[in-house]
Structure formats: structure tokens, C-alpha cells
């Protein structure tokens, strides 16, 4: 029996084959899960459709739009009746807010980063919970060490990730009595679209590989394997947790 046989997962955040959400999807598919993907905007639909083909359905969902969020869950209810797993792998901030000093962040830029990267988990969890009613559910989000420590240029995203991580704990408290677990994976740096255009990303990868206890970077498949643990019965007593998948980098002080 495969680990996720009979489980249905809604995956938010696949942009292309490099996306962390895609690595999670591949791990879930290999373990027998049924998948549904969402995409944000027509440009990404062209990328996501060929990937999803054959392994799952696809639905539009820009998480800043309440009506699109409602529609996705109404469709999932209609098509599947319920879900067991929700993956949230979404983040966005204005480009200039990831290069200017943090102190210059505008009110609008702060709101945008918080809305897309933190509040969206609350909205998705609220809509997913009734679809998970009566069965064991698992909600998983992706975060980064910039929530805990200063990472140059991560700026407003670090603040949004700190809110996201606190949300994981409050959601775990709210939804625990319904049998729904809520966790986060704090992943080490990975070359995805969200990391494209970051100046000196290569230097950052070297910095991590030199200092991390495992003396290397991670790959997306390793995030997939940890997601499998957290979202399957193997993680049945784990909730409200932020689990680092970063070759141990975060434990270092010097």
C-alpha cells in the first residue's frame, strides 16, 4: 500500500518544473495521491497545464481574490467531495522591496507581501477545513529562515514569513480539534523562479554549503520527501511545527 493511497491533495504554487510545489507533487504522485493544481494568471496556466496533464486537474486561483479562492473550493467539493491535503507554496513581494533597505517599505508593499504570502494561508485553511471534515487533514506551507534571522534583501518577505510561521501555530490550535494538522517546512535556498534575479544567489548557495553541518545545499526532492512525511500518517502526531530542511544551516551560531 502506497503512503498516500486514496488521499486527495490540492496544490497551490506550481509555476514550473523547478517549483518546490512541483517536487512535492511528484513525491505525492509516486505515493498514490490524487492531485489538483491551481495557477495564478494566464501566463502560468501555459506552464502548469502541460505539467499537470496526466497527473491531475488544474484550476485558476489568484489568492488575493476572494471569489477565485471560493470558486476553487466549490469546484473541489463538487468534483471530489472532500480533500485530505492542502499545499501552500506561495509568496510574493514587490521587486523593489527585495532590494531597497527594509526601512523604505511602503504601506502598499507591506500589505501586498502580507496578503499574498501570509494571509492567503489563513484564507485557504478556512475554506479547506470543511472539506477535510470527518477525516484526518494535513495543511503544509513553505517558509524560509529569513523569518527568524536577518537575510540581506529578504526584507518584507522575512516579516511576512514570520507572520506565516505564527499563523501555522494559531491555525494548528484552531483546527487540531477537527483532526487537521498544520505545519511548515523551512527550506534552504533553491534555484526556483522565486529565487531568480536575486543578486549573488550563487554566492549565497556557496555560503550555505560551506557552513551547513551537511556541507552542501539541499534539492527540491528532499523537500518533497519531508512533505510526504508531514502529510502522511507518518506525521500523525506532528502539528504547529516549522521543520527545517536546510542541511542544518539554521543551527549554526558561528
| Binding residues vs ligand IMJ (CB under 6 A) | 91-93, 95, 98, 144, 151, 153-154, 157, 189, 194-195, 197-198, 204
Beta-carbon contacts of 186 under 8 Å, excluding residues fewer than 6 positions away, are: 143, 144, 145, 147, 165, 242, 243, 244, 245, 246, 250
Quick check: 69 and 38 in contact, CB under 8 A? no
Using an 8 Å Cβ cutoff, are 52 and 9 in contact?
A: no
142 is an interface residue for ligand NAD by CB under 6 A: yes
Of ligand IMJ, ligand NAD, none, which one sits near residue 20, judging by CB under 5 to 8 A according to partner kind? ligand NAD
| Shortest reach from residue 134's CB to ligand NAD, in Å | 28
Nearer to ligand NAD, 123 or 136 (CB): 123
Catalytic residue among 144, 170, 229, 249: 144
- Return the closest-CA partner of residue 122 out of 147, 143, 135, 139: 139
d(C-alpha 51, C-alpha 13), whole Å = 13
CB of 143 to ligand NAD, least distance (A): 6
Binding mask 68-107 for ligand NAD (x = CB under 6 A): ---------------------xxxx---------------
Output the smallest distance, CB 150 to ligand NAD, in A.
16
Shortest Å distance, C-beta 1 to ligand NAD: 30
Residue 226 neighbours by CB under 8 Å, 6+ apart:
185, 243, 245
CB 12 within 8 A of CB 86: yes
Q: Which does 151 bind (CB under 5 to 8 A by kind): ligand IMJ, ligand NAD, none?
A: ligand IMJ
Known catalytic membership, residue 144: yes
The CB-of-193 to ligand IMJ minimum distance in angstroms stands at 8
Q: Does 51 bind ligand NAD (CB under 6 A)?
A: no
Let me know if 170 is a catalytic residue: no
Near ligand NAD by CB under 6 A: residue from 52, 63, 124, 218: 63
16: Cβ contacts below 8 Å, ≥ 6 apart: 22, 47, 48, 51, 193
Q: Which residues bind ligand NAD (CB under 6 A)?
A: 13-15, 19-21, 40, 44, 61-64, 89-92, 116, 142-144, 187, 189-190, 192-195
Q: Which residues are catalytic?
A: 144, 154
Amino acid at each position: 500500500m502506497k503512503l498516500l493511497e486514496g488521499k486527495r491533495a490540492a496544490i497551490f504554487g506550481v509555476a514550473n518544473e523547478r517549483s518546490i510545489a512541483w517536487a512535492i507533487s511528484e513525491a505525492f504522485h509516486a505515493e498514490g495521491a490524487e492531485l489538483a493544481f491551481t495557477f495564478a494568471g494566464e501566463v502560468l496556466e501555459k506552464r502548469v497545464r502541460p505539467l499537470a496533464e496526466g497527473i491531475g486537474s488544474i484550476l485558476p486561483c489568484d489568492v488575493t481574490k476572494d471569489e477565485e479562492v471560493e470558486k476553487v473550493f466549490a469546484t473541489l467539493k463538487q468534483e471530489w467531495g472532500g480533500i485530505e491535503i492542502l499545499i501552500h507554496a506561495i509568496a510574493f513581494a514587490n521587486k523593489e522591496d527585495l532590494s531597497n533597505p527594509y526601512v523604505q517599505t511602503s504601506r502598499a508593499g507591506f500589505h501586498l507581501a502580507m496578503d499574498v504570502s501570509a494571509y492567503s494561508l489563513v484564507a485557504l485553511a478556512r475554506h479547506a477545513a470543511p472539506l477535510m471534515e470527518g477525516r484526518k487533514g494535513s495543511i503544509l506551507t513553505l517558509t524560509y529562515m529569513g523569518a527568524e534571522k536577518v537575510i540581506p534583501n529578504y526584507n518584507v518577505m522575512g516579516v511576512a514569513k514570520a507572520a506565516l510561521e505564527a499563523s501555522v501555530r494559531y491555525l494548528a490550535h484552531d483546527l487540531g480539534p477537527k483532526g487537521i494538522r498544520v505545519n511548515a517546512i523551512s527550506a534552504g535556498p533553491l534555484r526556483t523562479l522565486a529565487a531568480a534575479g536575486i543578486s549573488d544567489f550563487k554566492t549565497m548557495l556557496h555560503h550555505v554549503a560551506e557552513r551547513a553541518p551537511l556541507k552542501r545545499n539541499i534539492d527540491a526532492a528532499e523537500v518533497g520527501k519531508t512533505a510526504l512525511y508531514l502529510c502522511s500518517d507518518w506525521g500523525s502526531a506532528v502539528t504547529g511545527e516549522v521543520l527545517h530542511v536546510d542541511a542544518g544551516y539554521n543551527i549554526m551560531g558561528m
